[in-house]
Amino acid sequence: MRTFVTIAGIAAALACATAGAQGLTSDQKFLSLDGKVQSLKADVLSVGEEIKALEEELLFPPSTQFAVFLAADIDSSIKLVSAQISVDGTVVANHMYDTGQLEALMGGGIQQLHLGNVKTGPHKLSAAYMAKVGKKVSRYTTEYSFNKGKDPVYLELIVQGKDLQEGGKEPRFSAKEWK
Amino acid sequence: MKQGTESGKKSPQRRLAAAGELARRLLGKSVVRRVCAPLLAGCLALLAAPGAQAGPQVKWKDVRDPQLGKALFNLYQDRNFTGIIELSHALHTQKLRAQSQDAELALVMLDLSYGLHRRAGARLASLMNRGDTRPDITNQIWFYAAKIRYQRGYFNQAESALANISGALPWELEQDLQSFSALLMMDRDQYPEAAQLLSQVKGRTGGVPFARYNTGIALIQAKKKDEGRAVLDKLVQTQADTEEARTLRDRAHVSLGYLQLLDNQPQKAKAYFEQVRLKSSQSNEALLGLGWVHYNLGDFSRALVPWMELSGRNVADTNVQEARVAVPYALIKLDAYRQAKEQYEFAFRSFKEELARLDSTIASVKKGAYFDKLLAQSRWEDGEKGWYGEVYSLPAAAESYYFTQMLARHDYQETLKNYRDLRYLEQKLNVWSTDLGAQGDTVAGWSTDVDNRVRRGAAATFAARVNQMRQLRDGYVAELARIEAQHDAPGLASEKELQQLARLKSLEASPPAGSAEQAQAYRTRLRVLRGRILWNVHSQYNTRLFNMKNALAEMEKTIETATAQQNRLADASQKAALSSKNLQQRTKILNNKITQLRPRITGALESLEDYLKVVALQDMEKRKQILSEFLAQVAFSVGQANDPGPGGGTPKR
């Protein structure tokens, strides 16, 4: 019985292989390119931020700006299917939820459902949701009256429901103004 | 080995056998390489552990600000590019009504997820210097920063990121941290310390088997071969419920098999190699090892079974190339010279063809043709994700095989990610440029509208009316001054009184026909009437003068108000013009910035593509070198087999 290798050979080869791998990952050219890309990305993001500011000033000035957010304090016993919001009887936003968005909401993320403009004065927001508990899909609604002044108005729609069961406790839907 | 029949004169069989000896030495070298491969791969296995590359897991429990919530909504969906822009804008415009410190941490997390680990590190350090941090979140961020830096080859920075962690992480991350720290130790050749640390990793998380594997590897590297083998032995006996776990088990089996082979324990090695699944990614190495096991046991016909199976697989794999050299060598041992010669010829032909394919791939890579195919597979929208975005899937092309190993390299993956991200940015700049054009048009239209409506329309009409009022006022003031100076009471007569006086004058001029007495009575009546009117005018002079002055004062006030309104209108018009000019100026500046960014992106893309090409070509050349060694050996063996010897009339070698 013969083998063609020795432990010393393995050690030497291992040393070479390890050094080779490290040499490649710490290669100066790669690092220099990576630095260049990071700097470029930061510069593009900065331009993006300026464009965002310009767009907002132009399209959604504070005197008329109005935004609707949706937050959810829910678990997997309820699946939010869709949300529709109307302002003074006119539908302004419709949204269907995918798994990634529901997970983001459950993780504490808040969705901006609508960004638009309303005139100064009193308004009424109506929200309609489709949500699934067990196998049953139900429609829920909520309304909220607000007054638009010279500052932007941010409204928060809140969906609450944990450990729900079909035919049992219902999820709760509410709205409030973020001040 | 069968000997030749005549001393001093080698038969073709003997020459073939001699060639086989050379092949054996060559194979011996490559066995070392095969053993090393899984060991080295094992060192890197940790980064492939479940969760190691998953999206950010830092969670905020108490979100009270919509802007922070929106940033997290983006972060949790890997919409990092958009998330950074929106949150930076919100922070700079003081939109955060609460939790601005948390928002800054969220921005660091977004930066990190997008791959901007330098900026993220600088921002986090600055926040820590200000004392504006939450250790529960910053510790996790430093850990992710360390991982990203390690993967990008910033080893020292990875360690300095770990040094910033103070206090405990959540349990699962703590386990992950120990595995990661051990990996850094192994990079510094601190194998005993790494093994010690890895042995503390516990639990049932997906990362634990990887930690066990690395523990075994660390112990072997630390010259504690038996202990390392025992750890790997324990690993291969545990339940593997996922494909990832089964692949790791296969890898451990291969490593154990080669270790036994090196220790002259082919029988034990056989048991390990036989456990590797035939369709596993490790099966080529296992088949090769199994062949060597039987060869070492002197069972050449059994050695042929795995080697023949392996020999029929893709020749681009160096294991297969080695098998194609090993098969004829085993056949020689079995005195099957004709079949051995056929197998050598088969190997020779296939190696030549493979070399031609490699040359063609090299040409394709040099021309950039393959990268066009590779990049066409990419989903540009992943450029929004940055570091967490998936890397390319390989196109269905003959060249793709050579790239599978390169895609496992961190520098290659990261360069491809950077390349994809820059292509995304390039597209983004195009979209922004179009949007800015549209916005510029909107602003210009708005400006013209304001100009037409305010300056040329309403403002002009208003100004004319105010001027008219001023002229009227001036006339009234002058007339009143004259009346007052001359005490001209009739000058203050009303319109009606003036008409009545004019009528009386007209009646006086044309008296009715009649007697003299009648004429006298007529004139008297007219005089009395005129006297009554004039008496009223004179008796009311002061009152009328006072009322007139009051009316003029009212008029003055009206003119003042109108003038103020006129000024406000002019101001508004001017402001609108200025605002529109300012917006147009900003649009122009942004367009200029975009114009300046474009060539920088193009240049960086070219540099990245060059880098990808150079690395790919180096790998191809290395493959060519290995294959050429095999080819030279096989060519020699084929030549020996065809050479009839000194008496055969062929030239001497």
Query: Could you give the ipTM of this predicted complex?
Result: 0.86
Any residues with CB less than 8 A from the CB of B446 and at least 6 apart, and which? B580
Of A49, A102, A105, which to mutate for an interface test with B (greatest number of B Cβ within 10 Å)?
A49
Q: Residue A31, by phi and psi: left (phi above 0), alpha (psi -120 to 50) or beta?
A: alpha
Q: Is the pLDDT of residue A24 over 70?
A: no
Rounded to the nearest 5°, which phi and psi values hold at A114?
-155, 140
The pLDDT tens digits of the residues spanning A111-156 come to: 999 999 999 999 999 999 999 998 899 999 999 999 999 899 999 9
Query: CB burial class (10 A; 0-12, 13-18, 19+) of residue B635?
Result: middle
Report CB contact under 8 Å: B187, A22: yes
Q: What pLDDT is recorded for position A72?
A: 94
Nearest to B616, CA basis, from B387, B335, B419, B462: B419
Partner residue facing A101 (CB), from B77, B114, B418 = B77
Number of Cβ within a 10 Å radius of residue B549 = 14
Q: How far apart, in Å, do the first and last CA atoms of chain A sit?
A: 83
- Chain A CB contacts of B424 under 8 Å are none
Query: Distance (Å, rounded) from C-alpha A81 to C-alpha A45?
Result: 33
Count interface pairs A-B at CB distance under 8 A: 208
pLDDT along chain B (653 residues), means of 10: 36 48 44 38 36 54 88 93 96 84 90 90 87 79 86 83 85 80 81 79 70 82 86 86 86 91 90 92 92 92 95 91 92 89 92 93 85 73 73 73 80 86 92 88 77 70 85 90 89 90 88 85 90 90 90 90 83 77 89 96 93 89 90 82 46 28
Of A52-61, A79-88, B454-463, B492-501, highest mean pLDDT: A79-88
| DSSP 8-class letter at A88 | T
Q: What pLDDT is recorded for position B16?
A: 47
Any residues with CB less than 8 A from the CB of B165 and at least 6 apart, and which? B139, B142, B143, B177
Number of Cβ within a 10 Å radius of residue B138 = 22
Q: Is A8 on the interface with B (CB under 8 A)?
A: no
A84, A94 in Cβ contact below 8 A?
A: yes
Q: What pLDDT is recorded for position A155?
A: 96
Report CB contact under 8 Å: B115, A41: yes
Q: Is the pLDDT of residue A35 over 70?
A: yes
Any residues with CB less than 8 A from the CB of B650 and at least 6 apart, and which? B643, B644
Partner residue facing B61 (CB), from A38, A103, A108 = A108
Report CB contact under 8 Å: B66, A35: no
**Least Cα separation, residue A157 to chain B (angstroms):** 11
Classified as helix, coil or strand, B69 is helix
Query: Distance (Å, rounded) from C-alpha B416 to C-alpha B310?
Result: 32
Q: Which residue of B has its CA nearest to A6?
A: B262
Q: Is A58 on the interface with B (CB under 8 A)?
A: yes
